[in-house]
């Protein structure tokens, strides 16, 4: 993992100005001479800057994200707890004699703020063009914001299981999760462990939106009709909360759910539809037919308003989490789309274009 420090003022959409910030990031592969073999991967809510860790089905030799052919960049989003500026870090607005962590005072970044924070890293690498950007869920929100902010930056974009504006339904789920954290008696403390029990419950709430009825029916049903207690789905919910608590903190979880809620491409622009028409990248939007958190009509809406965009909906029993698990379907859709795009434009496939194996 690397850390990029930017020591210039950054004014967030909230109006708060930071004197500087830092981003944890990983790179894989080698930047070619023309500096145009770049893939930018945007991670989702609780992931990190290592796509090999959470998207291993797409990452590696011969796969979509192939470090032998591409220069791959993934940045840990601000507000997270995996190396970028976050709630447990020292507030740079305080003096050295009174320095203290942000804790509850962390100024959350909107997805638009995040995209703007990444731009100086692009300048650091002297990259003028990104071959393609890809991200699911909250990662897709950041990708869309950047593609609107910088229409000439991406050749291709692949937003997956995401939206152009976070829905009232999605906000309600996130609000319910924050209520779980707020109900934790330790939440008001200025301590790294504050709110952790509440976050475990919040994760349980989130899982219901990440999966669906059929997912639980398939994987958490009992093997006998005699069970009256200690059900599999009960233990599964508890296990997932404990699992997250071992690697995350409640401050980051609270801040990032607020970040997701703030997502609206139309804010400060003519409209959501007008913002999407600014995107020039060749776009394939991918949805999941069982996704109840980001239902397919949200992806269709994106594709309907980006000039020339295509929308494809994949089958998956896993609901929203299918964007992390259905790697074979996602990879094939993207490869086919890029091949058709090159063929349709009359171009000859170049070294950075994807080819089927």
The rounded distance, in Å, linking the Cα atoms of 316 and 131 is: 28
What is the rounded distance in angstroms from the CA atom of residue 168 to the CA atom of residue 261?
Answer: 9
91 is catalytic: no
Q: Is 43 a catalytic residue?
A: no
Q: Is 263 a catalytic residue?
A: no
Contacts of 307 (CB under 8 A, 6+ apart): 277, 279, 280
The owner of tokens 């942000």 is 102
Given 50, 66, 291, 321, the catalytic residue: 291
Point out the catalytic residue in the list 131, 166, 320, 327. Answer: 320
155 sits in which H/E element: strand 154-160
Torsion 121-125-130-133 (CA) sign = negative
Measure the CA–CA gap between 121 and 51, rounded to whole angstroms.
18
Owner of token pair 């893939």 = 39
DSSP 206-217: HHHHHS-HHHHH
Catalytic residue among 49, 80, 84, 137: 137
In sequence order, the 6+-apart residues with CB closer than 8 A to the CB of 14 are: 107, 108, 110
State the catalytic residues. 137, 291, 320
């Amino acid at each position: 993992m690397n850390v990029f420090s930017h020591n210039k003022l950054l004014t967030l959409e909230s109006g708060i100005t930071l004197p500087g910030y830092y981003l944890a990031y990983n790179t894989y592969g080698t930047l070619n001479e023309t500096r145009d073999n770049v893939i930018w991967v945007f991670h989702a809510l609780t992931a990190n800057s290592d796509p090999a860790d959470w998207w291993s089905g797409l990452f590696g030799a011969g796969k979509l994200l192939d470090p032998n052919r591409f220069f791959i960049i993934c940045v840990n989003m601000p507000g997270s707890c995996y190396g970028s500026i976050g709630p447990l870090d020292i507030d740079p607005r305080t003096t050295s004699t009174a320095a203290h962590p942000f804790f509850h005072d962390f100024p959350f970044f909107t997805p638009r703020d995040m995209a703007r924070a990444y731009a100086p890293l692009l300048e650091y690498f002297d990259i003028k063009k990104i071959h393609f950007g890809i991200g699911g869920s909250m990662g897709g929100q950041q990708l869309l914001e950047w593609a609107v902010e910088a229409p000439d930056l991406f050749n291709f974009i692949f937003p997956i299981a995401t939206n152009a504006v976070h829905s009232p339904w999605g906000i309600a789920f996130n609000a319910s999760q924050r209520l779980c954290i707020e109900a934790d008696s330790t939440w008001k403390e200025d301590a790294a462990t504050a709110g952790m029990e509440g976050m475990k419950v919040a994760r349980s709430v989130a899982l219901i939106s990440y999966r669906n009825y059929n997912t639980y029916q398939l994987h958490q049903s009992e093997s006998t009709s005699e069970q009256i207690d200690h059900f599999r789905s009960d233990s599964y919910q508890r296990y997932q909360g404990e699992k997250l608590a071992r690697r995350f903190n409640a401050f980051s979880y609270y801040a990032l759910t607020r970040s997701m809620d703030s997502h609206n491409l139309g804010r400060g622009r003519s409209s959501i539809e007008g913002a999407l028409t600014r995107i020039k990248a060749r776009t394939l939007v991918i949805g999941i037919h069982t996704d109840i958190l980001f239902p397919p009509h949200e992806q269709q809406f994106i594709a309907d308003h980006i000039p020339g965009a295509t929308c494809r909906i994949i089958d998956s029993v896993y609901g929203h989490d299918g964007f992390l698990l259905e790697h074979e379907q996602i990879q094939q859709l993207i490869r086919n789309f890029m091949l058709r795009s090159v063929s349709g434009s009359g171009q000859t496939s170049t070294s950075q274009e994807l080819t089927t194996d």
